[in-house]
Amino acid sequence: MAVSAAAVLVACGPGESREDTEARPSQSSATVRTAEPPATPTASARPEEPTAGAPAPRTAEGAIRRYGQYLHALGREDIDTVCEVAGPAARKAQDQGLGPCTSTYALVVQMISPEQKDALRTATVDPQRIVVRTPDKIEMPVEAVRASVTFSESDLGSYTLEYLDDDWYITD
């Protein structure tokens, strides 16, 4: 479907980082936290957005929050945010000839149906379905995306997020 172009944009070659290994529950890694300030909601900050300038939590919850930002931005056609989160993977794709992230994703969002965009704007991630490979590398299978429409591997794809430079980024 339409969103599959986004999967193509950030996908590596067949089989890379897509091995069929046993899924480990994320709770053990998700509950191991680095020191972070207590969460105090503010009127202006949305829960999925970290405080500007503050490092993102190096936790499964932090990765889920960041992936949620990507999904919501894709649904809103917010190319700048999409390219911020998917930057490392987009650079790999550009090196393979797909073009700059902003122009590639501008085409991608045009192919997403209005129903899919609406679903992405409010999509959540099921923490039970993510796979924590290491504290710095988390797999987000398409089955973990909870939305008003079901996305398949060909629609949206699965992604790998890695903790780089104090934040989570899509790298594969």
Please report the pLDDT score of residue 52 as a whole number. 53
Identify whether the C-beta of residue 109 lies closer than 8 Å to the C-beta of residue 74. Answer: yes
How do residues 117-164 score in pLDDT, each as one tens digit?
Answer: 999 999 999 999 999 999 999 999 999 999 999 998 888 899 999 999
Please write the tens of the pLDDT for every residue from 45-74.
334 444 456 788 999 999 999 999 999 999
- The fold for domain 1-13+62-172 equals Nuclear Transport Factor 2; Chain: A, (3.10.450)
pLDDT for 23? 36
38 three-class SS: coil
pTM of the model: 0.72
Residue located via tokens 């091995």: 19
Q: What is the mean pLDDT of the chain?
A: 77
CA distance 73 to 15: 27
Residue 68: the pLDDT is 97
| Reported confidence tier of residue 30, pLDDT bands at 50, 70, 90 | very low
The Cβ of residue 114 has, within 10 Å, a number of other Cβ atoms equal to: 8
Beta carbons within 8 Å of 14's beta carbon, 6+ residues apart: none
